[in-house]
Amino acid sequence: MLRAAAIAERAGIASVSLVTTPFRAQAAVVATGVGMPDLPIAEYPGVPMTDGPEAVRAKIAGLMPQIVDGLARPVASTATTAAEPAPRDVVFRGTLDEVQEHFHRQLWSDGLPVIPPTRERVERFLARTRRAPEQVLGCLLPENRAATVWSVAVNGVMAGCRPEYMPLLVAIVEAIAEPAFRVQDAGSTPGWESLVIVSGPIARALDLNHGQGVLRVGRQANTSLGRFLRLYLRNVAGLRIPPGAGDKGSIAGGFHVALAEDEAAAVELGWPTFGEDQGFSREESVVTVQSVVSVSPPIYTGGTHALDHVGVITEVFGAECAYWSFTGMKYARWQPLLVLGPSIAKVIAADGWTKADLRRHLHEHVTIAAGDAEKYAWHLGTTTFSLARHVKDGVLPAAYAAGDDPERRVPVFVEPDRIGILVAGDAGRNQSKGYCNNHIQGGRVSRRVDPGEVPWPTGSTTST
């Protein structure tokens, strides 16, 4: 809303943004980021979804003086920002403990100890890329800060990455800088977290875990890559929890470690790898980033036929996504991810199922009552959500408005082709797991790792 207001003000159109009290600090961060820290704001006191109708009417009436004042007051556009150190400036000297305390006070850490980004350490990362340190990879909101190769190296050091991860770190930042990722929404109230998925030869070269314990901390590459992205969103994009206030996640989870696919298992099944599903060849190294707003319980399945497993997966994975499905219906940008254990995928493939068959089954059998979808949307605050209206506007297929019975079933997954399927996990167990994304926020984006920046032999993980 504030970004739209800034555009209007620059075009000479007076505006006032309505913001509830809990969003006031975040609104100030966004307004400063768009270069207009004095944008007029009318503050609704409290939380409207927990106020009764009379309280809402009274509070809205009380906003009128703020709205009139905001519309009458000219707003200056300014690009003035607080002075920041130059890339190679030494910002602090001290002992390791003193460095940790300084970074903590400056809100530069994620609450965990960091590796001090000395010039020497940063230079070792820069030596692993042919990009110039000052090259800008994109501009990240809400603080509207340039994402440079230098800042990638600095945060990579802090996160505990190895220098040879640098080409992958660059690709990660290029991915989140894509408009389709919508990094400006990474601090929204659902508290979603970003997930990095690594495909191709680079996953093997960097020794990423794809087997037992996948997505658990412990393997340096997986863990530090996930931590890097969380640090970068905090330090460069400006997504900090209070007192930084750029992150409004209400109840959030921790960062996700990076995920890699058991590509050998997928190939043995005759299935395309996840990287190939994103449009790349098996020989290309690729990084994919997407949002995860919730994770299913572990899905245990048994049997010798595909439906023995797919039936339970449909029930559990579908139930995890069903409650939040109105967001996918609203924006038609529903991109959940299903991680199949290798033993489960083997049974499904042996029964003649392709990934397309599995996606189609999920699309046809994971449903929700239309009335529930609209009810859940109302409770979020999307009080005008209507399946019929979205069909009329061309957002949803006609089947979503086939009748007015609130008990009629509608598909949870609008477009089956958008369901991600990846083989990973413990080959000695019968477990899978599902990951629900946050509609258009954190849209799935893939970037190829520059093939000219992979100078180490396969299997090498030695840092210099």
* Per-residue confidence (pLDDT) for residue 315, from 0 to 100: 97
Which residues, listed in sequence order, are joined to residue 147 by a DSSP beta bridge? 138
Which residues, listed in sequence order, are joined to residue 338 by a DSSP beta bridge? 421, 434
Amino acid (1-letter code) at residue 157: V
* Per-residue confidence (pLDDT) for residue 150, from 0 to 100: 97
pLDDT tens-digit series, residues 143-165: 999 999 999 999 999 999 999 99
Q: In sequence order, which ranges of 140-262 are alpha helices (DSSP H)?
A: 149-159, 166-176, 201-205, 220-232
* Per-residue confidence (pLDDT) for residue 214, from 0 to 100: 94
* Per-residue confidence (pLDDT) for residue 5, from 0 to 100: 64
Token pair for 241:
């929890």
* Per-residue confidence (pLDDT) for residue 464, from 0 to 100: 30
* Per-residue confidence (pLDDT) for residue 27, from 0 to 100: 74
Q: What is the Cα 297 distance to its own chain's centre?
A: 20
| Residue 160: strand, helix, or coil | coil
Element housing 104 (H / E):
helix 96-105
* Per-residue confidence (pLDDT) for residue 250, from 0 to 100: 85
| pTM to 2 decimal places | 0.91
Q: What is the Cα 448 distance to its own chain's centre?
A: 18
User: Which regions of the chain are under pLDDT 70?
Assistant: 1-9, 11, 76-82, 244, 454-464
